């Protein structure tokens, strides 16, 4: 887990957990809050996983919370395959592909209107059901992924487009994704390391990336020297 200050392009805190459970995120937030208590963020951008949303609502409820539109678009394009023979899917995919390009309330209004027009035209598809024969389930929605896509596109506009009212907030966490990409590249170079070795390597990598000058290097060495002496 990486907690990043996007404005100053610096990682505030990082940790390793076996899963993104609420307990793991809570433990992280208890350490992150003291680091930012004097400079509370003007906004938060996350991929909107349940444990993260719950932790944000509990520990930092006041700043606006933007849902990463890059993740939203990626999910939508997964639900709406390029070569689908269904016209409704193709139409909705075209709308989904421009969600990250919205830069004004006017463009947002046009995008939302396009989604509503799609619903007026194709809403009957969302109600179609398939009856199971020789299966455990008696029935299911025929176009399940289409329903998931439209639910994602109509879920709480205040979180999808918070960045329009708060210009300091980016609409994606691409800055963090860039850090993740570099991390994966480094690990691919050092293939063969066990999990514990990978974690140690990444923690040292993140630590030295915080070093910007000789003063930072001295502060890091003093901290490590004191810990080594205690051990």
Give how many domains the chain has, as a whole number. 2
The number of beta carbons lying within 10 Å of the beta carbon of residue 149 is: 22
Cα 101 from Cα 117, distance rounded (Å): 20
> Between helices 174-189 and 195-209, what is the axis angle to 10°?
130
The mean pLDDT of 203-227, rounded to a whole number, is: 82
pTM of the model: 0.85
Kindly state whether residues 75 and 139 are assigned to the same domain. Answer: yes
**Model pLDDT for residues 80-123, shown as the tens digit of each residue:** 999 999 999 999 999 999 999 999 999 999 999 999 999 999 99
Kindly state whether residues 87 and 159 are assigned to the same domain. Answer: yes
Kindly state whether residues 93 and 156 are assigned to the same domain. Answer: yes
**Mean pLDDT computed over every residue of the chain:** 91
Is the pLDDT confidence value at 155 over 90?
A: no
Kindly state whether residues 78 and 99 are assigned to the same domain. Answer: yes
Is the pLDDT confidence value at 231 over 70?
A: no
Kindly state whether residues 122 and 203 are assigned to the same domain. Answer: no
Write out the DSSP string of the chain: -EEEETTTTEEEEE---SS--HHHHHHHHHHHHHHHTTS--S-EEE---HHHHHHHHHH--SS-EEE-HHHHHHHHHHHS-TT-S-HHHHHHHHHHTTGGG--SHHHHHHHHHHHHHHHHHHHHHHH-EEE-SSSSSSEEETTHHHHHHHHHHTS-HHHHSGGGT-TTS-SS-HHHHHHHHHHHHHHHHTTT--HHHHHHHHHHHHHHHT--SHHHHHHHHHHHHHHHHH-
- Poorest-confidence range of 11-20, 54-63, 209-218? 209-218
Kindly state whether residues 73 and 156 are assigned to the same domain. Answer: yes
| CA-based radius of gyration for the chain | 22
Residue 221's domain comprises 2-66+173-230
**Model pLDDT for residues 163-194, shown as the tens digit of each residue:** 999 988 999 988 888 888 888 888 888 888 99
Give the pLDDT confidence score for residue 223 in this predicted structure. Answer: 79
Kindly state whether residues 126 and 149 are assigned to the same domain. Answer: yes
Kindly state whether residues 61 and 76 are assigned to the same domain. Answer: no
Share of residues in the chain with pLDDT > 70 (%): 98
Kindly state whether residues 154 and 216 are assigned to the same domain. Answer: no
Kindly state whether residues 58 and 80 are assigned to the same domain. Answer: no
Kindly state whether residues 178 and 134 are assigned to the same domain. Answer: no
User: By the 8 A CB rule, do 13 and 3 touch?
Assistant: yes
Question: Of 164, 196, 218, which closes a domain?
Answer: 164
Question: Of 146, 164, 182, which closes a domain?
Answer: 164
Question: Of 131, 147, 164, which closes a domain?
Answer: 164
Higher-pLDDT residue of 129, 132: 129
Is the pLDDT confidence value at 69 over 90?
A: yes
């Amino acid at each position: 887990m990486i907690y990043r200050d996007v404005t100053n392009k610096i990682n505030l805190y990082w940790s390793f957990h076996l899963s993104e459970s609420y307990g793991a995120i809570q433990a992280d937030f208890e350490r992150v809050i003291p680091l930012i208590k004097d400079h509370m963020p003007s906004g938060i951008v996350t991929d909107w996983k349940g444990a993260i949303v719950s932790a944000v609502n509990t520990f930092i409820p006041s700043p606006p919370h933007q849902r990463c539109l890059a993740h939203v678009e990626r999910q939508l394009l997964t639900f709406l395959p390029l070569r689908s023979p269904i016209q409704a899917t193709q139409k909705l995919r075209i709308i989904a592909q421009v969600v990250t390009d919205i830069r004004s309330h006017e463009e947002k209004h046009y995008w939302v209107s396009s989604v509503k027009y799609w619903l007026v035209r194709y809403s009957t598809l969302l109600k179609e059901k398939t009856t199971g024969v020789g299966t455990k389930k008696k029935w299911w929605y025929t176009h399940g992924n289409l329903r998931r896509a439209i639910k994602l596109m109509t879920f709480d506009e205040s979180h999808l487009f918070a960045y329009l009212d708060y210009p300091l907030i980016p609409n994606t966490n691409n800055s963090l994704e860039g850090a993740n990409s570099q991390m994966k590249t480094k690990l691919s170079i050092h293939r063969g390391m066990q999990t514990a070795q990978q974690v140690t390597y990444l923690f040292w990598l993140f630590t030295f990336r915080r070093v910007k000058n000789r003063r930072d290097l001295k502060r890091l060495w003093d901290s490590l020297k004191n810990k080594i002496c205690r051990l």
